Structure 1
Amino acid sequence: MPEIFPQIPPVAMPEVIPSELPQQKFRLGEWVRWWQVPNGDFGRVIGVIYTQQASCIATGLHYLVFLDERSPSRDTCTYDFAFEKDIEILDKSSLERLRGNHA
């Protein structure tokens, strides 16, 4: 496996921070997967940021996911940001199945 250099994608602070932020759907440490694509990536939520269109295509919460070593894109990236609507929580059996499928 090639050496992976951990890099966090660039972000920019919004010009105006809203007085109330949306409630988080996912908690730090939870296992999630990108549900809308076949063989989607999966990993653990390690951060959450709020962005506005000045720094991102969509305004709202975005989750920083540390990809599992068996996630399909792990050879090319270690971390990825996910839109809240694009990921779902993985239960223990689903996580075990994904890890087995990508061994």
Structure 2
Amino acid sequence: MSDILTQIPPVALPEVIPSNLPQQKFYIGEWVRWFQVPNGDFGCIIGVIYTHQASCMATGLHYLILLDEHSPSREICTCDFAFEEDIEPLDQSSLEQLRGNYV
């Protein structure tokens, strides 16, 4: 687990934290994939934070995703943050199909 922690992308606290946070669309343990990009990564949500994402200056809910061992980027990173607008849920059949595409 400590190896995973060293690979978590950087985040920063937002200047103002709202009194009411947005409702989550996805939950810990749910399998998702990035659908906005060709050959998108996929994995399991292992955390949800409200933060200011350092690399693109966007404030809001960010989902920490542990990439599946068959996900295209897994060789270079173990985890990645995703915005709600960039991911979609995976059912078991879709997950198995994605894993089969990258074997």
Q: What is the match of residue 95 of structure 1?
A: 95
Q: What is the match of residue 58 of structure 1?
A: 58
Shift >3 Å, 4+ stretches: none
CA-CA distance at 1:52 after TM superposition: 3.7
Q: Give TM-score scaled by structure 1 length.
A: 0.88
Unaligned runs of 5+ in 2: none
What are the residue-to-residue correspondences of 1:36-55 with 2, within 5 Å? 36-52=36-52, 55=54
Q: Secondary structure at the match of 1:61?
A: strand
Q: 1: distance between equivalents of 2:11 and 2:38?
A: 28
Q: What is the match of residue 14 of structure 1?
A: 14
Q: 1: distance between equivalents of 2:52 and 2:27?
A: 21
Q: Give TM-score scaled by structure 2 length.
A: 0.88
Q: Secondary structure at the match of 1:37?
A: coil
In the alignment of these two chains, the number of paired residues is 98
Give the structure with the higher percent strand: 2
* One-letter amino acid matched to 1:96: E
Unaligned runs of 5+ in 1: none
